[in-house]
Amino acid sequence: MNAKVYWLASYPKSGNTWIRIFLANLLEEKQQPVDINRLNKHPAFLPIATDRKQFDRTVGVLSEDLSQETVLRLRPWVLRRCLQRSSAQQSPVLFSKAHDANITASAEERLYPPDLTSGVLYIVRSPFDVAISYSHHYNISIDQAIHEMADIHYGWNRSEDKYYLQLAGYHSSWSKHILSWLDHADYRVHLVRFEEMKYRPRETFQSIVRFFGLPHNDTAIQQAIQFSQFKELKKQEERVGFSERVAKKARFFRKGEAGAWREILTSDQIQQIIQDHGPVMQRLGYLDQHNNPIDETIWSQSP
């Protein structure tokens, strides 16, 4: 029987790395924080779903010699093949980061096949804060970030003019991305909000650990939460850098705040985001029934 994967799925800049750092600290069980540049060394972590090296090694034919349509169609096969051959015995659970929307790879198969999926941890963050973080990460204007977040056809690494370490990504818009994962009946999904991780960490991370079926030793969880606190990550990045940083100047671990948008976004930008994503924001509790942004401190209260 094939090993199966827990997808750590999110729209970009929503807290996926935070989750991986928490899990790495929980699994490593060391007395000091895990090196942020060695996150994927634990056998539980598979390469990101769009890892080009894994694709090329598994298929043999170089991905750059194939059309994007063919690469997309092959990605589920690559996953299946890797899981068949993986040393699943080394880890009882397997995790992989996924930034794509949950789309079909072909008429026959989903990009993230349900039969290879143990479950989906879906991480969401207020699009107001995502827009700011996104603009810093990719060194683009906030308006450009808002525009890309609204584009249902958007995805990374699609240009044929340059080389990318990763394969083409298929993110769609912020709203469509969320709905593609939450509303698909074939997956067991656990939804967490960045704001809940920030304001109610103990309860939120415990729910994550239970969802994965990992031992939920409260002391170990508390330690992992502490070791993955933003100030620790920022300190590490300042000391040794972070290899997953993209833009030339921006830090990856910049502020890690919820609600910072109130001092940064213009009223036009706020209205644009509400216009683009209002229904999903309401559904997730980021807007009230009158489309007014909620106060972030609400996430400190248990549901």
Partner 1 sequence: MANLVQHYALGGLNIQSEIALPALQTQNRSHDVTICTGIVAKTLEDIADSGQLFDQSPLWEVSSRCFLLYIPKVARILAIEGKEIVIDPLSGDDPQGMQTLLLNTVFPVLCLQRGLLPLHMSAVAVDGGCIGFTGQSGAGKSTLAAYLEKQGYSVLSDDLCVVSFDQQGMPIVHPWIPYFRLWKKSLDAMEIDSHDRLRAWRKKGKYYIPTDRNFSTQPQKLLNIFHLRENRLSSETTIEQVQGMKSMMLLNQHTVMAITLSGMKQQKEQFENCSRLCRFTKLFHLSRHKKFQYLPDTVQTIQSFLHI
Residue 82 Cβ vs partner 1, minimum distance, rounded to whole Å: 12
Beta carbon nearer to partner 1, 36 or 145: 36
73: contact with partner 1 by CB under 8 A:
yes
C-alpha 20/C-alpha 6 separation (Å) is 12
How far is residue 7's CA from residue 84's CA, in Å, rounded to a whole number? 17
Sole window of 186-194, 212-220, 221-229, 237-245 interacting with partner 1 (rule: CB under 8 A): 237-245
Q: Which of 66, 179, 214, 220 forms a contact with partner 1 (CB under 8 A)?
A: 66
Give the pair of three-digit tokens for residue 51. 């890892």
Closer to partner 1 by Cβ: residue 237 or 296: 237
CB of 205 to partner 1, least distance (A): 28
Cα–Cα distances (Å) from 231 to 33, 228, 236, 237, in that order, read 12, 8, 9, 10
Piece of 69-77, 193-201, 219-227, 262-270 that binds partner 1 (CB under 8 A): 69-77
In the complex with partner 1, which residue's Cβ is closer, 165 or 298? 165
Site pattern 251..270 for partner 1 (x: CB under 8 A): --------------------
Q: Which H/E stretch holds residue 120?
A: strand 117-124
**Which CA distances in Å does 241 have to 30, 191, 194, 234?**
21, 30, 23, 9
Q: For partner 1, give the closer residue by CB, 239 or 290.
A: 239
CB of 117 to partner 1, least distance (A): 21
Instruction: Cite the DSSP H helix spans in 117-246.
Output: 127-137, 142-150, 174-182, 194-199, 201-211, 218-227, 230-240
Stretch that binds partner 1, among 4-12, 19-27, 51-59, 173-181 (CB under 8 A): 51-59
Residues in the chain: 303
Residues 152-191 touching partner 1, rule: CB under 8 A, are 159-165
Residue entry with tokens 């603009």: 135
Is 92 an interacting residue with respect to partner 1 (CB under 8 A)?
Answer: no
Stretch that binds partner 1, among 139-147, 201-209, 236-244, 288-296 (CB under 8 A): 236-244
Q: Which residue has the tokens 């209260």?
A: 301
Query: For strand 95-98 and strand 117-124, is the pairing parallel, antiparallel, or unpaired?
Result: unpaired
* 117-124: strand order across its sheet: 95-98, 5-10, 117-124, 189-193
247 interacts with partner 1 by CB under 8 A: no
Structure tokens at 30: 């060391």
Asked if 53 interacts with partner 1 (CB under 8 A), we say yes
Which phi and psi angles does 264 have, rounded to 5°? -120, -45
Minimal distance in Å, beta carbon 138 to partner 1?
Answer: 17
Nearest-approach distance from CB 243 to partner 1, in angstroms = 5
- Residue 110 sits in the site that holds partner 1 (CB under 8 A): no
Beta partners for residue 190, in sequence order: 121
Q: Which residues bind partner 1 (CB under 8 A)?
A: 37, 52-53, 56-67, 70, 73-74, 77, 81, 159-165, 240-241, 243, 245
